[in-house]
Structure 1
Amino acid sequence: MPIGIMINALSVLLGGIFGALGGKKMSANFKDGLNMAFGACSMTMGIYAIAPMKNMAAVIFAIIIGTGFGLLIHLGDWINRGAAQMQKFISRFINAPTGLDRQTFDATLVTVIVLFCASGTGIYGSLTEGMNGDATILISKSILDFFTAAIFAANLGFVVSLIAIPQFVIFIALFFAAHLIYPLTTPSMIFNFKAAGGVLMLATGFRMVQLKMFPTADMIPAMIVIMPLSWLWTTIILPML
């Protein structure tokens, strides 16, 4: 039973509803201050995930190659289009948020999608729960996600709650794929995988505090290539050095 995944998706759903309903009562200073805190938390979690990596070169190669591929296929643009379609759909039932220009809305929504659906913690937590039933990683993540969703929903509206749907689909797919993926991994591959996810979370934190708008959506393929690159580095390249 994917308890952690269900709790995580539910936290985004409820957090989005709570923020959309009570967002008008939150002052701009209050929301900005919490956004800064959440950005710092995201960067802290990213640094924590990066620290135990086993092969820095493999992680760096994965980030560069994955980001390059994402930029080549314009993955960020595809996510923007998907976000626009989500907004068109929900606008049939709920008024669109006011006070945000389109560019800011798209950029913020991409950040939220990546944060909830493609974080290293979420992906690793889904794999871990699928393999041994340990839901503690996702439950811990859910606490932050609830308040993060509430703050973002205060600006973006109910569309934040809908992100719980693709998040649940992605995580549940990883949950069931864990039986095929995990036996093929090594401890070094897992640590490197978490480190690659940590880089994305670190970049996401910079976006949240609006210090630097990293192309986090285009960096998602790094989470796919890190496993084979880690295996290649440890089994073929390192013995040759």
Structure 2
Amino acid sequence: MLTTLIWLIHPATLGVFVKTSGTWINVATVLIGSGLGIVLKGNLPTRMQRIITQALGLLTLFLGVTMAGSLLKVKLGIFDGVIIGLIAIVIGGLLGEWWRIDARLRAIGDALKHRFQGGGSFTEGFVAASLLFCVGPMAMIGSLNNGLSGDNTLLSIKSAMDGLASIALSSSYGIGVAFSILPIVVYQGGLSIAASFLAQSLSEPATNPSVLLTSGVGGLIVMGLGLNLLEVAELSIAAFLPGLLLAPLLCAIIEWLA
């Protein structure tokens, strides 16, 4: 009812809001978590933090499996989506290791932390939270999903994780953590809007092979993140990010050759 009313008032605004809804949910959870963290002042027991992380890890793993199922919906000539997804994530992982994406991201984070270490707890909290919330596959994949199809499920899960992390961070660093919403809006919102323009050029984004392949490969990466959260494995998740670009590229090449 409310959605219909908003649509009648301003349809264009509804379209932009839906495509970036996950970002606004993320902003809300970070603000709420930061407020709770300041109130709690670090009194949340470690064992309770571990249980929360494990619960989020299980849910993230389930979500990754669900997303990866998109590969089963793709068939391009003699190639199944699973095979194309496998090629994309293997070559993408090799490229990621060659380019040392994971190591470079860690180096950037360490450099920023070192650079702002003497700037007070406000700056340190802002930098630490911004890196944690924006550097990672869930932010990228979730924003693309939200922009392409309006599905904010992945960003909603990330929002829950970020909100809980905000409690722990803000109890140590203070209100600077709350200001990490600024890079969240710019990065995630920007990706979602860019993806929404891409979706407008596709006839059927929900069934387009390129979108399904990208979502499927993204699901495999999210599964890896879930395994990391559960401490079942220690995967270099960032190394597989090039696979997200290779999936639609492989799709275009196969369609062109067919």
- Using the size of structure 2 for normalisation, the TM-score is 0.70
Task: Give yes or no for the alignment of 1:233 onto 2:254.
Answer: yes
* AA in 1 matched with 2:165: F
Task: Give yes or no for the alignment of 1:48 onto 2:74.
Answer: no
Match for residue 195 of structure 2 among 151, 159, 178: 178
Relative distance call for 1:150 and 1:114 in structure 2 (3 A) is same
Relative distance call for 1:123 and 1:193 in structure 2 (3 A) is same
Contact preservation (8 Å) 2:30, 2:166: no
Other-structure match for 1:218: 239
Match for residue 34 of structure 1 among 24, 35, 52: 52
* AA in 2 matched with 1:49: M
Counterparts of 2:144 and 2:86, CA distance in 1: 19
The total of aligned residue pairs comes to: 218
Match for residue 159 of structure 2 among 146, 154, 158: 146
* AA in 2 matched with 1:10: V
Counterparts of 2:237 and 2:256, CA distance in 1: 29
Instruction: Map 1:199-218 onto structure 2 (within 5 A).
Output: 199-218=220-239
Counterparts of 2:225 and 2:218, CA distance in 1: 10
Other-structure match for 2:110: 84
Please identify the structure whose Cα radius of gyration is greater: 2
Q: Percent identity?
A: 13
Unaligned stretches of 5+ residues in structure 1: 98-104, 129-133
Contact preservation (8 Å) 1:43, 1:203: yes
* AA in 2 matched with 1:39: G
Unaligned stretches of 5+ residues in structure 2: 1-12, 75-80
* AA in 2 matched with 1:216: I
Counterparts of 1:179 and 1:151, CA distance in 2: 29
User: What RMSD, in angstroms, separates the aligned Cα atoms of the two structures?
Assistant: 3.1
Other-structure match for 1:114: 136
Relative distance call for 1:59 and 1:12 in structure 2 (3 A) is farther
Structure 1 residue 6: Cα displacement: 4.0
Relative distance call for 1:116 and 1:16 in structure 2 (3 A) is farther
Counterparts of 1:124 and 1:77, CA distance in 2: 26
Match for residue 13 of structure 1 among 26, 30, 37: 30
Structure showing greater relative contact order (alpha-carbon pairs closer than 8 Å, 6 or more residues apart): 1
Task: Give yes or no for the alignment of 1:66 onto 2:92.
Answer: yes
* AA in 2 matched with 1:171: Q
Contact preservation (8 Å) 2:65, 2:219: yes
Other-structure match for 2:78: none
* AA in 1 matched with 2:136: V
